[in-house]
Amino acid sequence: MLGLLLLLFLGFYAVSVAALIFLKFRWGMRVVGLAAVLILGSIAVMFAVYSAPALARYGLSLFTTADWDPGAERYGLLSAIVGTLISSALAIAVAMPLAVSAAVAINEFLPSQVRWVVASLLDLTAAMPTVIYGLWGRDVLGPALAAGLNALGSWLLGAEPVRTPLNLLTAGVLLAVMITPYAAAIIREGYGLIPRQIEEAIYAVGATRFEAVLIKLRYIKQYVAGGFFLALGRAMGETAAVAMVVGGNYVRLVLNPVDPGITISSLIALQFPNAANYLYMTPVLYAAALTLVLMGLVINGVALYLLYRWQV
Amino acid sequence: MNMDRKLVAVVAVAVLAVAAVGVWLMSSPQMAPSPTATSSATQTTATASQSATSTATSHPVLSGTVTGAGATFPLPQIQRWSTLFREYTGGKVVVNYQGVGSGAGQSKFLNREIDFAGSDIPLTPQNYEKLKGLVYQFPEIAGSIVVAYNVPEIAYSKTGKYLNLTAEVIAKIYMGEVKQWCDPQIKALNPALADKLPCRDIIAVHRSDGSGTTAYFTLWLAKAYKPWGDAVGWGLTVKWPVDQTGRGVGGQGNPGVASAVEKTEYSVGYIEYAYYALNKKKYDDIGGIAYIRNDNDGKWYLPLPEMVQMGLSAGLERYRQKYGAYPKPDEDWNAVIQELANPPRGYPLSALSFFIVWKDYSAAGYPDAAAKAQLVREFMRYVLTTGQQSVVEGYIALPQELAQIGLSAVSQIKP
Amino acid sequence: MNWRRVKNWLGIGVIVTLSLFAVAPVLSVVVSIYAAGAAAIASLGGLATFLTAEPPDPFATSGGVGPLLAGTLYMTALGAAAGILVGFPIGIYIGEFKRDKLSHVARGAVNMLVEFPTIAMGLFVYGMFSMVRGDVNSVLAPLSRDLSSVLGGWVTWFVGPLDFYNAYIGAAALAIVMIPYVALFTASAYASIDQPLREAAYSLSGREYKAVFTVLRKVVWRAVLASFLLGTAKIAGETAPLFFTALGNHYYAPFTGPTGAVTLWIYEAAQSSYKVQVDSAYGAAAVLLTVVLALFILAKLLGRGR
């Protein structure tokens, strides 16, 4: 019965959107925008409902301790939360300069015939199954980073800081490699839509190439921001690739990026297949997903606030 | 005015459309409430008829699809069996098994979403209580776990020797108490290599995902070294004390642990024998695998198939002596694997994987129960007889007595 | 020495270097996939076999991605269609209607959807589906009977009572993953339209929806098309949403039951110990990338014609 109701609801929704768009366009579009919020809302509600048993049993300690002892049914997500923050911050810090540079280089310095080829190749990487990135990260990038940092460390400090290639740094850099194409695509899109008059005006006042680039970037700063948030979201949500390189340390609060750690998304991916064997692991994993939603809420809230402050 | 009439027209059309759909739905004869438990092969054209002359070489005429899911440890082996079984039935029966994890497999099986489950560890006590008397569980394949290490100074290709390790030392490594390779406890076990062991931190590699390999590794440690059992216990995922010292690393999957050991100097890790066997040279160059001492008979063993089967048989025998009979397929096998771990003889670190099937498929609520049960029966029978001779490299066939237990169950699957 | 000129050359140098760093790793991964994949396909029986045969078991000497490719193509096509259908209007709303408070909330919602671990999308669809499955099947069963009596038995491979795991909920999970990407790209495209152009569009077109969906769309169609392609490429390469929706299948099977996908096979085979399976994973990845590349080229050719 419930199923039929759901289907009827969806049917009504779709029909009313189509009707409204023809008749009262603004309202139709508002209903469409509402759909986005509804989808998010339903997923968040599902997480909340499924995680209720864990929240009831563990309360806040679920988020303030780092622990993972399924045999004793003791769980704590702090390590995952901090790991997510560290790896995403690293990823964005590395990816944004790369993405901006790539977008600029493609649009500014490449002849137009080549431009499409390189741009398409970059977009192609979005289709790469993330498992392949994981394998590359585990077998190529991780060891390379570890070797490089260790060489640097022994030369500068006399000690080798990186003990294993599976750590938060590898995860962060791998994420950066993976999210750069997305941010670059949005920025490239914006760059291509800069009106000719603006470009001519910039050069008319005598800007050098580099200065022109800077001015254009400021002109499309909302695209840069859009790219930033898309890339950040992707970094926080990435599961398969991170799971293979992050190091799987659930029980220690890891602050040093070259130590093995864990992120929320990879925690869910790694533990979900066997969660049904334990009493509380499934609700805890849903609580982890809920945490990610809350973190996203905070980040987007901050962004909205900044947006209002800047725009007014 | 125009707008209002158009509005009315559109709304009327929408209402009529929805009403028409509703009428059509109501008139369809399938509006009865659907059964809560439906099986997965609703479009199986499963026709199963016994061939008239059942000689030893003929087999029943079968066709259809069987869906199973669960443990990833036996995945390649089950895939092999699936291919062979399809040939055996003349291309008519397809067995689709997906590795979604032991826990997910058990829960999907409980929901009647799949026809059989694969699980590295037997039904958990909670699930067993729910399903007591309704299911059979039995092992279908065995494997062994090796402890590999990456210490270039004592690599097998350099020294011609493997390291000797015991449960106690390995447990202490994973508890963070034995911190370096030059620890006196390791030296005491390896007098020939003692002076070559470097004073470097041991990086202990374990699984970051839940796994049967972890379960059998920790079960052995728990049984062979009591402090481990008290402090850590065993399971698909455990809390590794060494993680808190920062010298623990988790790899995803057996290849993840294997790759971590390969790429992390001075590390040690436990991996499936298959992975080592197929990459032997690589590991022998960077270190090797450990001889494990069976503390019950004091001998040192390497994880060769015969040694593993010896261990499984010895463990089964110990169970029989303790409980009076071989285990039955519908009892709680948690007690069984306790006896199979750390057996009186043989390589002590062996692993099993189980199949879980319903005793009675129509009672369980599968719509095409008769055909389904027939297919499951035949597949399981094949797996436990001919299948044991087509073992993929790295896996180990069950000792005869163990396979028999499953066989006795399989022929009783109803309807 | 002209300081501005120095800055100019330094700046450009930095940009070029960084962009090389950005592009090099991903390109090297693509190249190594093709290299390993081509070798693998050759060793597994050639391209024709690879595209139609079933995935190899550890003892096999040849194999392919036949059923997996079929599953991926089917689910990606459906998922992309749904994702575009839903994501495009949402994107327009976010990009065009900047003055609405709801539009900012919707943008926030879409940003957050991007952040979700994709495995959660699969679980969500699975949860929703388990609620409606019985009722949906009560409609589909007679429908499939009616259709197959008219069109033939092959219809049951597409329309029929749905198993717990099937290609349609896999496609639904993929669609939900794609919606935020399409929405965000479309929003950027529409937001970039010059105000004069926008005013002209509104004044020239009769209905508001014509202005937005027809005229303005033509202004930004390139960017919008790029977003469709990128979104489709992305879901073609997704694994996690399919775990608990399509489940996976090594054989050709009806789409109303567990369905395989190239990415699911890669996930399974890349972690195998057996060389033949690992090889097939690389071959499968190469095939996937080629399919997506073909899609890009096709879109480009179609675009040229306009």
* Rounded CA separation A249/A262 (Å): 6
| pLDDT of the residue at B11 | 54
| Residue C115 tokens, joined | 């952040």
Strand partners, B61: B49
Question: How high is the mean pLDDT of chain B?
Answer: 84
CB atoms within 10 A of CB A9: 10
| pLDDT of the residue at B185 | 93
* Rounded CA separation B121/B106 (Å): 10
Q: Which chains touch C (3 or more CB pairs under 8 A)?
A: A, B
Question: Which of C19, C207, C239, C247 to probe by mutation at the A interface, max A CB count within 10 Å?
Answer: C19
| Residue B48 tokens, joined | 């199963």
| pLDDT of the residue at A24 | 75
Rounded to the nearest angstrom, the minimum Cα separation between A290 and chain C is 9
Does residue B107 sit in helix, strand or coil?
Answer: helix
Domain residue ranges of chain B, discontinuous segments joined by + = 44-141+333-337+349-410, 145-311
Residue among A141, A185, A292 whose CB faces C115 most closely: A292
- Flag whether pLDDT at B24 surpasses 80: no
Phi-psi region of C181 (alpha: psi -120 to 50; beta: other; left: phi over 0): alpha
- Parallel, antiparallel or unpaired: strands B135-150 and B287-289: antiparallel
Best CA proximity match to C281, nearest among C71, C70, C39, C118: C39
Q: What is the DSSP-derived secondary structure letter of residue B150? A: E
Rounded to the nearest angstrom, the minimum Cα separation between C243 and chain B is 8
Give the range with max mean pLDDT: B8-17, B308-317, C74-83: C74-83
pLDDT tens digits for range B226-270 = 999 999 999 999 999 999 998 999 999 888 999 999 999 999 999
Whether residues B238 and A70 touch (CB distance < 8 A) is answered with: yes
Residue type, C213: F
- Flag whether pLDDT at C68 surpasses 70: yes
Average pLDDT over residues C167-184: 92
Best CA proximity match to C242, nearest among C263, C228, C266: C263
Average pLDDT over residues B46-52: 34
Strand partners, B288: B149
Q: Is the peptide bond before C25 cis (omega within 30 degrees of 0)?
A: no
- Flag whether pLDDT at B17 surpasses 80: no
* Rounded CA separation C228/C174 (Å): 13
> pLDDT confidence of B19, banded at 50, 70, 90?
low
Q: Look up tokens 């690389």; give the residue.
A: C282
Q: What is the DSSP-derived secondary structure letter of residue A74? A: E
Whether residues B237 and A271 touch (CB distance < 8 A) is answered with: yes
Residue type, A93: A
Question: How high is the mean pLDDT of chain C?
Answer: 85
| Assigned architecture for domain B145-311 | 3-Layer(aba) Sandwich (3.40)
Average pLDDT over residues B16-33: 46
Q: What is the DSSP-derived secondary structure letter of residue B395? A: B
- Parallel, antiparallel or unpaired: strands B164-165 and B291-294: parallel
Residue among C132, C296, C300 whose CB faces A6 most closely: C132
| pLDDT of the residue at C70 | 92
* Rounded CA separation A180/A92 (Å): 9
Q: Is the peptide bond before B415 cis (omega within 30 degrees of 0)?
A: yes
> pLDDT confidence of C272, banded at 50, 70, 90?
confident
Whether residues A21 and C209 touch (CB distance < 8 A) is answered with: yes
Strands (E), B115-193: 116-119, 135-150, 164-165
> pLDDT confidence of C58, banded at 50, 70, 90?
confident
- Please report, rounded to a whole number, the percentage of residues in chain C having pLDDT higher than 90: 18
Backbone angles phi, psi at A78, to 5 degrees: -60, -40
C-beta separation of B149 from B268 below 8 A: yes
Backbone angles phi, psi at B268, to 5 degrees: -140, 145
Q: Which range (A175-184, B58-67, C102-111, C254-263) has the least confidence? A: B58-67
How far is the CA of C303 from the CAs of A294, A295, B358, in angstroms? 41, 40, 57
Is A26 touching C (CB cutoff 8 A)? Answer: yes
pTM of the full structure:
0.87
Whether residues C16 and A102 touch (CB distance < 8 A) is answered with: no
| pLDDT of the residue at C107 | 87
Query: Cα dihedral sign for A66, A53, B215, B70?
Result: negative
Residues of chain A with pLDDT under 70: 1, 310-312
SS3 annotation, C184-232: HHHHHHHHCCCHHHHHHHHHHCCCHHHHHHHHHHHHHHHHHHHHHHHHH
Question: Which of B3, B39, B75 to probe by mutation at the C interface, max C CB count within 10 Å?
Answer: B75
Whether residues C257 and B392 touch (CB distance < 8 A) is answered with: no
- Flag whether pLDDT at C89 surpasses 90: no
| Residue B254 tokens, joined | 């057996």
More confident call, C208 vs C44? C44
Whether residues C109 and A36 touch (CB distance < 8 A) is answered with: yes
* Rounded CA separation A312/A298 (Å): 21
Contacts of A109 in chain C (CB under 8 A): 12, 16
* Rounded CA separation B215/B334 (Å): 12
Q: Both ends of chain B: CA-CA distance in Å?
A: 70
| Residue C268 tokens, joined | 């399974």
Q: Which range (A117-121, A188-192, B309-313, C208-212) has the least confidence? A: C208-212
* Rounded CA separation A276/B124 (Å): 10
C-beta separation of C169 from C100 below 8 A: no
| Assigned architecture for domain B44-141+333-337+349-410 | 3-Layer(aba) Sandwich (3.40)
Same fold, B44-141+333-337+349-410 and B145-311: yes
Average pLDDT over residues B194-201: 90
Strand partners, B358: B135
Residue among B31, B100, B255 whose CB faces C271 most closely: B255
pLDDT tens digits for range B336-389 = 898 888 999 999 988 899 999 999 998 888 888 888 899 999 999 999 999 999
Best CA proximity match to B329, nearest among B364, B366, B361, B355: B355
Alpha helices in chain A (DSSP H): 2-23, 25-58, 61-64, 78-109, 112-124, 130-136, 142-156, 168-192, 196-204, 209-219, 221-237, 240-245, 264-275, 281-311
Contacts of A244 in chain B (CB under 8 A): 251-252, 256
| pLDDT of the residue at A108 | 87
Nearest Cα residue in chain C from B251: C271
Q: Look up tokens 């079960």; give the residue.
A: B219
Best CA proximity match to A172, nearest among A230, A101, A90: A90
- Flag whether pLDDT at B122 surpasses 50: yes
Q: Both ends of chain C: CA-CA distance in Å?
A: 50
Nearest Cα residue in chain A from B243: A249
C-beta separation of B388 from B403 below 8 A: yes
> pLDDT confidence of C83, banded at 50, 70, 90?
very high
Which contiguous run of DSSP H or E holds residue C267?
A: helix C262-269
Best CA proximity match to B249, nearest among B231, B232, B266, B234: B266
Whether residues C250 and B82 touch (CB distance < 8 A) is answered with: yes
Contacts of B25 in chain C (CB under 8 A): 139
* Rounded CA separation C210/C212 (Å): 5
| pLDDT of the residue at B347 | 92
Nearest Cα residue in chain B from C63: B83
* Rounded CA separation B314/A113 (Å): 72
> pLDDT confidence of B43, banded at 50, 70, 90?
very low
Whether residues B104 and A70 touch (CB distance < 8 A) is answered with: no
* Rounded CA separation A173/A179 (Å): 10
Rounded to the nearest angstrom, the minimum Cα separation between B301 and chain C is 23
* Rounded CA separation C197/C219 (Å): 9
| Residue B257 tokens, joined | 């642990």
CB atoms within 10 A of CB B304: 14
Whether residues B246 and A259 touch (CB distance < 8 A) is answered with: yes
For chain B, give the number of residues. Answer: 415
* Rounded CA separation A209/A258 (Å): 39
* Rounded CA separation A207/A203 (Å): 5
User: Contacts from B257-262 at CB under 8 Å and sequence distance 24+?
Assistant: B257/B205, B257/B206, B257/B207, B258/B148, B259/A138, B259/A139, B260/A164, B260/A165, B260/A166, B260/B205, B261/B148, B261/B149, B261/B150, B261/B205, B261/B287, B262/B150, B262/B286
Is A105 touching C (CB cutoff 8 A)? Answer: yes
- Parallel, antiparallel or unpaired: strands B64-70 and B93-99: parallel
Is C134 touching B (CB cutoff 8 A)? Answer: yes
How far is the CA of A132 from the CAs of A171, A173, B73, B258, B261, in angstroms? 14, 15, 21, 17, 20
Whether residues B25 and C139 touch (CB distance < 8 A) is answered with: yes
* Rounded CA separation C35/C282 (Å): 9
| Residue A242 tokens, joined | 């991170």
Rounded to the nearest angstrom, the minimum Cα separation between C153 and chain A is 27
| pLDDT of the residue at B305 | 86
Q: What is the DSSP-derived secondary structure letter of residue A138? A: I
For chain A, give the number of residues. Answer: 312
Q: Both ends of chain A: CA-CA distance in Å?
A: 50
Is C282 touching B (CB cutoff 8 A)? Answer: no
Please count the residue pairs, one from chain A and one from chain C, whose beta carbons lie less than 8 angstroms apart: 307
Whether residues B34 and C134 touch (CB distance < 8 A) is answered with: yes
Rounded to the nearest angstrom, the minimum Cα separation between B147 and chain C is 17
Please count the residue pairs, one from chain A and one from chain B, whose beta carbons lie less than 8 angstroms apart: 144
Strands (E), B264-307: 267-272, 287-289, 291-294, 299-301
Contacts of A47 in chain C (CB under 8 A): 120
Residue among A17, A47, A210 whose CB faces C7 most closely: A210
Q: Which chains touch A (3 or more CB pairs under 8 A)?
A: B, C
